[in-house]
Amino acid sequence: MKFNRMAFLTMVSLLLGCADDSVGPPVADKRPVELVSHGDVRIDNYFWLNERDNPEVIAYLDAENAYTQSILADTSGLKQRLVDEMTARIKQEDVSAPYRHGDYLYYRRYEEGREYPIYCRRKGSMDADEEVLLDVNVEAGDAPYYSVRGFKVSPDHTLAAFAVDTVGRRFYDLHVIDLETGVLLPDVIESTTSNFLWAADNKTIIYAKQHPDTLRWERIYRYALGSGRNESIYEEPDETYSAYVYPSISGKFIYIASVSTLSTEIRYLAADAPDEKPQVFLPREEKHEYFVTDGGDRFYIVSNDGAANFQLFEAPLDNTSKAAWSVVLPHRDDVLIENVDVLRDHIIVSGRSAGLTQMEVIDRVSGEAHVIDVGEDVYVAFPDDNYEFDSTVFRYGYESMTTPESVYDYDLVARERQMIRQKEVLGGFSRNNYVSERLWATARDGTKIPVSLVYRKGIELDGQNPLLQYAYGSYGSSIDPGFSSNLLSLLDRGFVYAMAHVRGGSEMGRQWYYDGRQFKKMNTFTDFIDVSKFLVDEGYTSPEHLYARGGSAGGLLMGAVLNMAPEMYNGVTTRVPFVDVVTTMLDESIPLTTGEWDEWGDPREKESYDYILSYSPYDQIKRQNYPNVLVTTSLHDSQVQYWEPAKWVAKLRDHKTDNKLLLLQTDMQAGHSGKTGRFRSLEDVALYYTFFLHLEGIAE
């Protein structure tokens, strides 16, 4: 019998106590499940919501969506205006900065009204005839979700491979296209990751494949075009590690990295001999993280062995033991090394100093070093498309909170830079209309927390300005003060925007990460709250006008902050929030759990269980007043399962003692990153902004 969703929704709305949306929000049925660990008993009334294929669950999510739409119905005009003005800032016919790779210049371009990029190239110069390699718009058709990742050209530039996900669960099919004929080859590698590369023989693809249930990247395969055979060349046996592949700019080697939170093991094989067995560069050691690349004639290693912020070594190709390593760049307490790119004559070391990115150039012969001067005080700079090993020009990207995305070519010998492209922002944008600042807030333990601010020039900072505060604070991932044309819709309406660079990231060095993980995770939450108090005390806003936002692991931050300091915020939005930490970390069958134990702690051990339980947002919900809250998730999210936010909202509804808004919206056709397409994705942004503006009483 065919399932009738509307009829079933009517039945379930009665079950949920919400036959009439105008009466109130959906009230999820309580079906207690007893969860016991270390003698501690937790009662989960909403455990039943974790059945993705259960029609009752789908109907509940539909009911929540209908309720959210009904509550925000009066703001639909504002939301559409926001979508229209954000769209109007986008240059519809646009071309990326061309980059040289072999004899070709490669680039992506967009056509008016179309969602997806078109991959192109020209031979020799941009004056040559254009070759269209892949039009993603044609491939996507009318698909509600279509994501292309990793468009990679073979070394001889005759073929290209790309990964396609049409659901949002991050299971990709790898396709290969003949660049001379434009015809897709019959070779398709199904249900894999988007991590792959070409071997130097132009016919072998080496790629990482995930476990079908846990989604851990656990195996490395090779596939020779036309063979129909996928051969496993490495299987990572430790469930706390994941494996992936990467190349070097020299093209000499292919690397296989096995990584856990605090340990690494690298294997390598010659790119022109992909049938060889990979060799171990250095066996894994507890708390030793290292990264390897090469300069053609030697290896370069970034290692934290005895160096919290890492140092750079070199080693001969025939001896990779630590005894053969020699220091190229020693450890520094004030500079974190994050990445290294090696060209024939130069090494470019990317890192952080005083909370900001920097790129340091080292001459491979003389050893002379200098830092690339980027010209602003609050910014982000990063390596971009660099494929030519013999080049003396280094391509990097640059932006700030007031400077749109820019691409530069830097002459490593003359030490001069040339802007190749700056993304054009339409609608009368001028960077001179905005002010960006770097402030330092003092946390309760005396630690100075960097804060990046941007606001419209001329607004009166009298404590009554609406302010949106954002943070992430996990996995050592740093958030950088980049540019967002979408954000102008808030800034032009009087908002201040603040990035809180809380502990748990690596903005201030690797210790910044160590001080915000496992048994120090509480620092992440208290840092965010202390930054909020600082911004209020300094007159940038007030609790009546302060808003917070975070997603994924940043959603965990939002959930903890809501429980700990609800009085500080008027509204909070969180996307795909990781909020049911204890239950998820105890369930090894849930995707990505085992690899996360090193980040949060392993709750199978009582000490970790007790600590995680002390902040787990779902478990720490109290009977108290909460701010206005908007939660969004996706049914097919592979990183944070939809049921975590769904359960969280249901429990919040049952416990909160206020009449403020609590809304849940589930995208039934997307994954962790939300909608695909450069225009459709604006609908998600507009929803969040509409929520904030609605709470501020701003209707235009």
Query: What residues are annotated to the active site?
Result: 552, 637, 672
What span, in angstroms and rounded, lies between the C-alpha atoms of 508 and 479?
11
Cβ atoms of residues 359 and 348 within 8 Å:
yes
Structure tokens at 224: 């020779």
DSSP state of 519: G
- Reading the block at residue 496, the tokens are 């201040």
Classify burial at 657, counting beta carbons within 10 Å of its beta carbon; exposed 0-12, middle 13-18, buried 19 or more.
exposed
- Beta-bridge partner residues of 266: 257, 282
Residue 188 Ramachandran class (φ > 0 left, ψ -120 to 50 alpha, else beta): beta
- Cα 474-480-482 angle, rounded to 5 deg: 140
Q: Report whether 100 contacts 388 (CB < 8 A).
A: yes
Among residues 21, 69, 25, 92, the alpha carbon closest in space to that of 690 is found at 69
Total residue length of the chain:
700
Contact 48, 61 (CB under 8 A): no
Buried b (16+ CB within 10 A) or exposed e, 185-200: eebebeebbbbbbbbb
Tokens 């698909």 belong to which residue? 143
Q: Which two tokens stand for residue 412?
A: 């490593």
Q: How far apart are the first and last CA of the chain?
A: 48
- Residue partners of 366: CB distance under 8 A and separation at least 6: none
> What is the spatial distance between Cα 225 and Cα 381, in angstroms, rounded to a whole number?
38
CB 170 within 8 A of CB 190: no
Region of 692 (left: φ > 0; alpha: ψ -120 to 50; beta: rest) is alpha
Q: What is the 3-state secondary structure (H, E, C) of 410-457?
A: EECCCCEEEEEEECCECCCCCHHHEEEEEEEEECCCCCEEEEEEEEEC
CA distances from 346 to 88, 115, 231 (A): 42, 39, 36
Cβ 177 vs Cβ 152: under 8 Å: no
Contacts of 697 by beta carbon, 8 Å cutoff, 6+ apart: none
